[in-house]
Structure 1
Amino acid sequence: MSRKRKLEDTSAGSAKKPATSLASWTTVEDFNITRCRQLNDMHIEPFKGPVLYWMSRDQRVQDNWALIFAQKLANKVRVPLCVCFCLVSSFLGATIRHYGFMLKGLQEELRSLQIPFYLLCGTAKQQIPLFTSQHKVSAVVCDFAPLRVPLQWSKDVAGELKKQGLPLIQVDSHNIVPVWEASDKQEYAARTIRSKLHKKLPEYLEEFPLVEKHLHKQDIPPSTDWQKAFASLRVDKSVGEVSWATPGTRAGLKKLEEFCDKRLKQFDAKRNDPTSDSLSGLSPWLHFGQVSTQRCIMRVSSHKGSSVAASVASFVEEAFVRRELSENFCFYNNNYDSINGAADWARATLQVHCKDKRDHVYTLEQFENARTHDDLWNAAQLQMVNEGKMHGFLRMYWAKKILEWSSSPQKALEIAIYLNDRYELDGRDPNGYVGCIWSICGVHDQGWSERPVFGKIRYMNYAGCCRKFDVKKFVARYPGSKTTKSK
């Protein structure tokens, strides 16, 4: 079925509010154009040079709506297609753990790309306009991320391309329902966005067309110098790469199949038990866009029968509703990593209890080195430091205890985000920011019974964890989690 719906665009001067319709030349056969928004008001016709896909967040070839659209557009106007990736030497505290996973994944996936690929070292604002000028590009397609820095990147590039008379079209290939189609405002909670997402699911949950060998040749050869790329990095190499997660789409899809075959049946009943291997473990591949969330939802949902029905529903709730709720929050709330992003009731209750006496107050160094009085917290921290992951249930407990043991809520949120982004393979992700601000500032939650330090923020404690799972069994996995007295 051909979808030729037009979408309002977003100009380079406005990050979110629509301005004018996408031009008719962007309508391509069998593509839902509402996945797109135009970031400047440029319109080139006829096309003379190639279409460029500026890959950033979604680092895969197949199951990538942005690349699919770019190829369909290039085929429609019969011009070459090329792909580039801009590598910055440092990014929001990312370490070699993150850069290694990303770059190795890019190398593996792009071996299969029969389309010229260019690895550009430097900022997008500098490199994209230089590339489009040198190669006489006619239009640029990019993917989407809701965080401040990548939004600014796309805004800057849109402005620079406008000077060249080139359009920049953004495609949300990370979410199933494009964030601007899911809702036009910040949603209060999962219950307020759930029905909106499910209502639109039939329109967007469709099989991906294949990215195929491009018929219109590009004369300029591809350019990738991976050795130079690694040498250009200015990142902390003390946080080493992990062995359990192999980078790349192929490994990510294998992980998905393992989850479906071995763990899906027990996901609903055991997903909050850190001693049970019941989670998908897919977050690193989803974060770097090496595997599509939409592919995961379709694969998991293909399992039918009463024995897996509850687990399928739980997975869809977490991977679809909760994940896209986080995208919504970060897109519409510029303070997604600050206490200022919390609701009025939460800021007020935290302020009232800001000076409450804490039984324990730890420094960043003590937290980072897992030197608290709580062996479960220490074990969770060690899991994150050593493995680049932390069980989802423990992430909540971990962050809430940072609130309880920090000198202020602001300091607690700062510490939680720093540690999460430094050690988690899926750091600097909407899910991570929302997880921290939910735990510490009550975002997407409601007020609970008032207590010291927490105020009306939801509380969690050690005894509650003991009722849910075998705490001693989990702690035993991390011998360094022994307790220490606070100063």
Structure 2
Amino acid sequence: MNSERIRICNDKPIRNQKTYVLYWMQAYRRFDANHAFEHAIKLAREINKELIVYEGLRMDYPWNSERIHKFILEGMFENQTRADELGINYWPFVETPQNLGKGLLKEICEDACVIVTDDFPCFIIPDQTASLAEKIDCQLLSVDSNSIIPFSRFQKPASAARILRLWIHKELNSNFPTPSKPIWKKEELTSITGKTKPNQKIGLPKSIDSILKTISFQNQVSPVKDVKGGRKEALRLLDEFIKKKLDLYLTKRSEPNRPEQTATSGLSPYLHFGWIGLEEIFYAVLKHSSNGKWNPERLSHTKPGDRENFYSPSIATNHFLDELVTWRDIGYLFFWKDKPKNITLDHLPDWVKENFKRHKKDHREYIYTLEQFESANTHDEIWNAAQTELVQTGRMHNYMRMLWGKKVIEWSKTYEEAFTTLEHLNNKYAFDGRNPNSYTGILWCFGLFDRPWFPERNVFGNVRFMSSDSTKKKFKLNSYMEYIGELSGKSNSLFP
């Protein structure tokens, strides 16, 4: 661990006279391959204290639902098992109407020498961290375990992927970062294990269903059958992707199809909830593509910025890693410095704002309400299919998500209303919603990280336009539409 990943969140001292080092697990919900957990271990060893790991699940987070809650709880149950294997004193807390969490974390912090948490730039986590930092009497450290390169190395966000790609490649060539420890063993942690008893509110329920029945969720969104949260499922998906889909990534990833036939990893929700780290995926993919012989010296030192050849001799591997590193990092880095509480169209570049001023009064051929969008009740069968996939499965094919966003802009009264609709639908239904990349993905539909396109079009002006007609011409959609028909209980296809 180096100091590049560590941010001191308050000016309070480390209190050596207290009982334990506390790791507050908020975003990186795993024990292995986690820089924050690793730093907490280091501190506990240095001051010879027990390490406590606290992971909480409040019931009032924005866009809460049975779908998201169940997904998170499955990961918490796995974390309990892993903590037992390591001998770590793990304190999980699940809030219910009968077991409220107000004041609990502050109470736990009263016996902490120092607190380590996760440096995540979006949703409720920055506010939670800042709020606790003010209330406690000990030092709070936030650790960046988001990517390969510590984000502190970048002085500002990148305006385009081609710019960030060059920055990343040059950094990896000049000073390749040390990865986190990939896996811990029980015998390595004996000096920091202990038996401090937690508050009686701490502990997992006997079953997930028993908890879900006690909570009145703001959003009525059902869990998805056969979709399971947690680290084991993340590692299984990674292994499956590497063995069966990685070599097809370049040619098949953009084609809408059934998930099992789409050459994508399906790991986005698991990255979002921190059950797997970007580093782990990065090294596993390169190990596979090099027959176990990859090391940083195999980078293309003569071609920084070249997404075809930089990481590996395999073009498919390079394209996947470019999406994983460049396109994921560009979203996280966009919010890294400011960590805004509210994300709006004000985050768009000036050329887009001026563009929308010119076109805000343009005629819209179709205008739909949020209820019509949410129920997939538009004139466009392809858009309806994408929305149905989101509602029914918590995911959406990558290409369809871009088309989905563009059409909401075209069919809304205002650009602001379109953004609100997209934010709501994505955060309510998607497993990987409420994420920096979710927001920059939506903002990309409005022109973020893109360039002006010509000629100007109605509503969009110089912002990139996408159409369902061109999508039908570009891809064979039979299999995808049949899949959506099965999800919605219909046996239909655009092309009988």
- TM-score > 0.5, shorter chain as reference: yes
Shift of 1:132: 1.8
* Unmatched runs of 5 consecutive residues or more in structure 1: 1-30
1:192 and 2:163 matched: yes
More divergent stretch after superposition (320-329 vs 235-244): 235-244
**Are the structure 2 counterparts of residues 376 and 205 from structure 1 closer, same or farther at C-alpha, using a change threshold of 3 Å?**
farther
1:119 aligns to what? 92
Q: Which residue of 1 aligns with 2:24?
A: 54
SS of 2:245's partner is helix
Q: Quickly say closer, same or farther: Cα 1:200–1:49, change in 2 above 3 A.
A: farther
Identify which of 17, 24, 40 aligns with 2:10: 40
Aligned Cα root-mean-square deviation (Å)? 2.4
Alpha carbons of 1:192 and 1:234: their partners in 2 closer, same or farther (altered >3 Å)? farther
Offset at residue 232 of structure 1 (A)? 6.1
Tell me which moved more, 388-397 or 139-148: 139-148
User: In the alignment, is residue 242 of structure 1 matched against residue 219 of structure 2?
Assistant: no
SS of aligned partner of 2:115: strand
Letter in 1 for 2:203: T
Q: 2:368 aligned with 1:362, yes or no?
A: yes
Instruction: State which of 144, 147, 165 in structure 2 corresponds to 1:172.
Output: 144
Q: Which runs of 5+ in 2 are unaligned?
A: 291-308
**Structure 1 pair 259–410 and aligned structure 2 pair: CA distance change class (3 A):** same
Query: Does the CA-based 8 Å contact 2:390-2:429 persist in structure 1?
Result: yes
Residues 226 and 471 from structure 1, CA distance in 2 versus in 1: closer, same or farther, beyond 3 angstroms? same
Shift of 1:387: 0.8
TM-score by length of 1: 0.86
- Greater mean deviation of Cα atoms: 42-51 or 249-258: 42-51
Shift of 1:177: 1.9
**Would you say the 8 A contact 1:85–1:119 is kept in 2?**
yes
Match of 1:287 in 2: 272
Higher-RCO chain (CA-CA 8 Å, sequence separation at least 6)? 2
Confirm or deny: 8 A CA contact 1:330 1:430 kept in the other structure.
yes
- Alpha-carbon distance in 2 for matches of 1:361, 1:250: 44
Cα drift, residue 287 of structure 1: 0.9
CA deviation string 1:296-345 (max 9, x = no partner): 11111113369971111111111111101000112246387311111111
* Structure 1 residues 51-450: aligned runs within 5 Å: 51-113=21-83, 114-120=87-93, 126-133=103-110, 136-147=111-122, 149-161=124-136, 164=137, 166-181=138-153, 183-201=154-172, 203-204=176-177, 206=179, 208=181, 210-213=183-186, 214-215=189-190, 216-221=192-197, 223-226=202-205, 230=212, 233-236=215-218, 238-275=220-257, 276-304=261-289, 309-332=314-337, 334=340, 337-439=343-445, 441-449=446-454, 450=456
Q: Describe the superposition over 1:355-376 as per-residue Cα deviations: whole angstroms up to 9, x where unpaired.
A: 1111111111111111111111
Q: Which amino acid is the alignment partner of residue 477 of structure 1? A: Y
Cα separation, 1, equivalents of 2:123 and 2:273: 17
State the partner residue of 2:302: none
Please list, as runs of the form range in 1=range in 2, the aligned pairs for 1:464-475 lying within 5 A after superposition: 464-475=470-481
Kept in 1: contact 2:123–2:434 (CA 8 A): no
In 2, the alpha carbon distance for the partners of 1:308 and 1:274 equals 27
CA distance in 1, matches of 2:313, 2:342: 35
Cα shift at 1:168? 0.4
Tell me how far apart the structure 2 counterparts of residues 33 and 207 of structure 1 sit (CA, whole Å).
Answer: 13
- Which whole-Å CA distance do the structure 1 matches of 2:177 and 2:17 have between them? 29
Partner of 2:56, secondary structure, is strand
Contact 1:242 1:388 in 2 (8 A): yes
Secondary structure, counterpart of 1:203 in structure 2: coil
What TM-score do the two structures reach when normalised by structure 2? 0.85
Distance between the aligned counterparts of 1:339 and 1:312, measured in 2? Answer: 34
Q: Percent of counterpart pairs with the same letter?
A: 30
Deviation at 1:130, TM superposition (A): 0.9
Give 1:192 shift: 2.0
Cα displacement (A) at 1:293: 1.3
Residue identity matched to 1:188: S
In the alignment, the residues of structure 2 paired with residue 308 and residue 243 of structure 1 have an alpha-carbon distance, to the nearest angstrom, of 39
Q: Secondary structure at the match of 2:112?
A: coil
Once residues 49 and 425 of structure 1 are traced to their aligned partners in structure 2, the CA distance between those partners, rounded to angstroms, is 37
Secondary structure of the corresponding residue to residue 142 of structure 1 = strand
**Cα distance between partner residues in 2 of 1:234 and 1:65:** 35
Give 1:73's aligned amino acid: L
What code does the residue aligned with 2:401 have? Answer: R
One-letter amino acid of the counterpart of residue 130, structure 2: K
Distance 2:180 2:52 in 1: 24
Q: Output the CA distance in 1 between the equivalents of 2:102 and 2:314.
A: 47
Superposition deviation, residue 118 in structure 1: 1.4
| Bigger shift: residues 265-274 or 303-312 | 303-312
Comparing 142-151 with 250-259, greater Cα deviation is found at: 142-151
Matched residue count: 447
> Aligned pair in 2 of structure 1 residues 233, 36: CA closer, same or farther (>3 Å)?
farther
Cα 1:107–1:451, aligned 2, differ >3 Å: closer, same or farther? same
Q: Residue 137 of structure 1: CA displacement?
A: 1.3
SS in 2 for 1:138: strand
118 and 131 in structure 1: CA distance in 2 versus 1, 3 angstrom threshold: same
Structure 1 counterpart SS, 2:263: coil
State the distance in 2 between where 1:270 and 1:390 align: 16
Q: Deviations over 1:423-472 (max 9, x none)?
A: 11111011111111110x21111111111011111001123212321124
Q: 1:59 to 1:207 in 2, by over 3 A?
A: closer
